[in-house]
């Protein structure tokens, strides 16, 4: 059974009702919450962005729905992981936030869900929400 780290841009796409919001909504309906992970970096980034947009209520509802009442997992890196974050950022020409997500997903053995094509320069790459649905169907087929 596949598990996934969901990048900040995926959550924001849905929360801000952007162009690919329905694609994200479909993912969230199909994949059980206990198979979804987000980093503390993502949580804080969403809080910063939504607060700046005067959408604190949306942020609080997100936290309640996804983490408090939901079953998604919140994960974070430790100080000893930061040298790997900066190494990955340099090696693959990623911003710090992308390197943080990459190292988190890699450390925990999670697939990476993102709209950010920068991850395509890495060995882990990334999957869009639509690609996850295809991956999910293939992986969960019974062996015959």
Q: Domain ranges in the chain? A: 4-138
Q: Is the pLDDT of residue 141 over 80?
A: no
> pLDDT tens across 3-21, in order?
999 999 999 999 999 999 9
* Domain 4-138 class in CATH: alpha beta
pLDDT recorded at residue 126: 95
pLDDT recorded at residue 132: 84
pLDDT recorded at residue 58: 98
CA–CA distance, 134 with 44 (Å, rounded to integer): 30
pTM for the full model?
Answer: 0.90
Q: Is the pLDDT of residue 25 over 70?
A: yes
- Residues contacting residue 85 through CB under 8 Å, at least 6 positions apart: 77, 96, 99, 100, 103
The residue-averaged pLDDT of 43-64 equals: 98
Q: Is the pLDDT of residue 142 over 80?
A: no
**72 phi/psi in degrees, rounded to 5:** -65, 155
Which of 33, 50, 48, 41 minimizes the C-alpha distance to 7? 41
The residue-averaged pLDDT of 68-81 equals: 97
């Amino acid at each position: 059974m596949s598990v996934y780290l969901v990048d900040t841009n995926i959550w924001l796409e849905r929360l801000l009702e952007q162009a690919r919001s329905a694609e994200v909504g479909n993912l969230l309906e199909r994949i059980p919450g206990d198979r979804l992970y987000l980093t503390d970096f993502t949580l804080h980034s969403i809080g910063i962005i939504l607060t700046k947009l005067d959408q604190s209520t949306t942020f609080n509802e997100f936290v309640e729905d996804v983490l408090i009442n939901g079953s998604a997992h919140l994960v974070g890196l430790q100080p000893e992981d930061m040298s790997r974050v900066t190494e990955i950022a340099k090696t693959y020409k990623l911003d710090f936030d992308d390197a943080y997500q990459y190292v988190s997903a890699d450390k925990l053995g999670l697939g990476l869900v993102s709209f950010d094509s920068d991850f395509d320069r890495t060995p882990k790459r990334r999957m869009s929400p639509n690609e996850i649905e295809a991956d999910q169907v293939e992986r969960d087929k019974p062996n015959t």
